[in-house]
Every structure is written in structure tokens, then in C-alpha cells.
Amino acid sequence: MQRASESRMLIDGKLVPASDGASYENINPATEEVLGRVADATADDVDAAIAAARRAFDETDWATNTEFRVRCLRQLQAALESEKEDLRAELVAEVGTPVMVTGIAQLEWPLAHSLNYFAGLIETYEWERELPDSDLFGVHSVRRVWKEAVGVVSAIIPWNFPFEVLIGKLGPALAAGNTIVVKSAIETPFNALRIGRLIAEATDIPAGVVNIVTTSDNNIAERLVRDPRVDMVSFTGSTAVGRHIQQIGAHSVKRVFLELGGKSAMVVLDDADLATVIPASAQACMHAGQGCALTTRLLVPRSRYAEAVAIATAVYQNVPYGDPADPQTFSGPLISRKQRERVLAMIEQGKQEGARVAVGGGIPEHLPAGYYVQPTLFVDVDNSMSIAQQEIFGPVLTVIAYDDSKGDAEAVRVANDSPYGLSGAVFSADQGRALAVARQLRTGSIGINGGMFYGADAPYGGYKASGVGRQNGIEGLEQYLETKTIAYVAG
């Protein structure tokens, strides 16, 4: 039986409306219709959620009972799987994600692995390790290193891949023994609130261990960063907001994990088969380009630039876009009118700076409702232009020539000439050559000749303005752990 979308928050084990009864609308970006309303948290609601998380960490055995945490994570996994199709429909409706994309990173991949991986990892993780005994000052000391939970974590979720990011934070944070307050994106609250209901109804997770709040007021949400009862902030979103969070968190010296923006390069070397490789550049339009890891700069050798542009033009003229519920759609709507206006302004700026629009560049006439922008291909782009340096977060690819007469070093130079360093790709007929180029790229993850790095076991994060820390893998678990060194006198 299909379950309706949830409108209530999870605070201290209870599903509750906002304390003042306020709510706000959730809008379908493909139709501009109201999907429903959700609780609009007050400052008191956020304070109550933080207090509940603090109490659950300080007064229960959640942080130390590994076996119990494993059981609870597996219960949540089963509950999510029982409502997978409802989640899928909900994501298509509120995120505007193509249903095709729910078959990969939007739903299927994280659902299959993000909780299961960490539940398994903590069963074998080395929570304590021995150091060699010490005889300093004539005292024979036995030394140990303990790994312990950080404490209360606030998790702030973006709107582009909300379920994927949320479950990717819950898995390691809860596995490590932390308690958590989740603030969903304003634009995509339903999936987070559904998870809250499932935690309350279908798991033994103690009251206060997980709290989920929704608010339309970023000033209220900011309390999750400022409050001294919060030990760590885990944020995924824009670099501008990440900088703001880092500044605020510095006052109480919080641990801050930031997974931020990207302007990733798809580097095509001069020996690559362009007819095979260039079509992969269409991934810049997946989910209307609303993915921080998407390779939105296509770097091609100048000696083959015309050939590459011709292939890319044909590809972009045929990118399937439109209704996200259509299984053939690859690029759906942008999340909001505001985001569409920003993307269109960036496209206009690219034109003014001298780049040429080869395909797209505007609002599709046949889609009068919804926040759509045509899949857009820019050519004659210099890497110093705004559209090559700034994250557009729309279905826009820039094609940039590099001087291959200077060798692979020039491709590396252009790829690294960016404030970001989140992801990237390298294509070459010579895998060893591609690996050598990848080694020189200042970025957190790289796919070589189509290789896929994604996985709950694969550390993910960025260099430079793309963030601090790593999500997933052993590094992702340890992101949520403190290290304590002890010594005692041998008896």
C-alpha cells in the first residue's frame, strides 16, 4: 500500500508539527504545482531537537553499544526498502529528478549500500589499538588508542540529491555512535520526513538519536551551526554557504565536514577515440546538470577541436529532456524559478564574454510550465571565462581547447586552473598515460576511461574550494570519530 508523504518532523522520538502550527508549501519543479505542506520549524523546535540529541548522546548507551547500533541500522534499511517505490515517486515529484536517475545515484545505489556498508564496517572496525609500551620517566606505561563518537552532529542536506546525501550522512554518523539533527533542504523535505517516520515506526533507534527538522527560514537553521551543544556540522551544498558555516563554526571550534561545489574537467587526450568518448560529455546534463561531481568542462586538444565540437553538437541536439516521470528523460527541470534565473543569467554572461552557444541556451517553448532550461553547449570558451570558472548548476557544458603541442602537461594545467577540485575524468587510448595525467589532477575523485568510483566504500570529497573531509569509506566513518590516547601503569 502506498504511504502518503509525511509532513511532520521527528523530534525526540515523536512525529510533531511545528510548535506554532506553521507550515510551508512543497512545489513540484516540473509542473509548478503544490505537492503539499510540511512543518515550518520555529527556533524552539530546533532547540528542542538539539537538546534531544544532546541528551540521547550523554545519557544513553547509543555511543558505546555497537551491536545495538548495527541492529538499528539494519532495521532502518529494511524499512526503507519496504517503501522504496514510494520514495522513488516522491523524489521524482519534489526533486524533479528523472526517474532514470533514481535507478542510480538518486536512490538505488545509496539505498543498497549506504547503511549496509557501515553496519558491516563497525562490526570489524578496530575501535581500540595497542601502542608499544613506554618507559618514559622510568614509568612502565601501557598505551592504547580508542576511537569514540564525536557527539552531536548537525547534518544539513542539499536539494539536488537529497536522499543520497542524507542516507550517506546517517550511515557513518550513526554507525560511529553519534546522535544527529538533520535539516532537510527547503525545496525537498518529503524524503527526509519519510525517513523520520520510518525511524519512529519501524526501528528501535532511541528517542533523540535522530531528529529531523524542516524550516523555510535559514536564520533558524543557522542555530544548528551556532549552538555550542552541537559538536560537528556535516554540510553538503554550495561553496559560499560552506564558507559561511566554517566561519560560524570557528567560534566554538566545531568539527566541520564540507562537501561543496565543483567545476570538474573531462580531459580528453589527443589519442582518444572522439566518436566513442565525446558522447559521455552529455552527463553534464544529467538531472539538469544539478550535480556537484558532474564534469561540466570538456577539455579537448586544439588539433582536434573542430572534430570534438561537431560530435558534441550532435550529442547535445539529441539529449532527451522534459518530463522527469518519462523513463527516457535524461534532463528534467531545475529545482526552482530562482535557480533557473541564475542559470539563464550565467548563460547570458557567457555570451557577453565571447563564448558561443552551439546548442540550447534558453527556456524550451514546448514546456511552458516547470523550471526547464534547454541542454546547452558552449564552444569557443576560454578557461578564464566565468562559465568555465564558476559552478553553473544547470544543463550547461563548456568545450575548451588546450594546446596539445605542449603535451599532456598543458591539459593538466588547464584542468587544475580552477578554484574547485571535486571530481574529474580522463580519456586516452593509453591507460598508463591516462593514469599519469590523473595523478597530476588536484581533485578528489577521477574516472579513467569510463571507470566508476562511486560507492559507500569509496571516500568522496574535494580539494581546494570543493570541501574539507571525506564521505564514505573508512575515511567517512572516521570523519565522525574522535581519537583518544590513554596510558596506564602496568600492574
Query: Is the dihedral angle over the CA atoms 211, 12, 49, 7 positive or is it negative?
Result: positive
Is residue 364 classed exposed, middle or buried when 0-12, 13-18 and 19+ CB atoms within 10 A define those classes? middle
Treating both helix axes as pointing N-terminal to C-terminal, what angle do 66-82 and 84-95 enclose, rounded to 10 degrees?
70
d(CA 491, CA 261): 54
Selected catalytic residue, list 164, 259, 285, 391: 259
Find, among 303, 369, 304, 300, the residue nearest to 332 by Cα: 369
Rounded to 5 degrees, what are φ and ψ at 331?
-125, 115
Unique residue bearing C-alpha cell 502550527:
21
d(CA 215, CA 175): 27
Confirm if 178 and 150 have CB atoms less than 8 A apart.
yes
C-alpha cell belonging to residue 183? 535539516
Unique residue bearing C-alpha cell 586544439:
302
Q: What 3-state class would DSSP assign to 109? A: helix
d(CA 301, CA 429): 14
Confirm if 427 and 272 have CB atoms less than 8 A apart.
yes
Please report the beta strands in 269-341, taking only residues with DSSP state E, as ranges in sequence order: 295-301
Selected catalytic residue, list 72, 285, 292, 391: 292
Is 72 in the active site?
A: no
Q: DSSP 3-state helix, strand, coil percentages of the chain (rounded to 5)?
A: 40, 25, 35
Is 25 in the active site?
A: no
Q: Which helix (H) or strand (E) holds 398?
A: strand 396-402
Specify which residues 202 forms β-bridges with. Answer: none
Catalytic residues, by residue number, are 259, 292
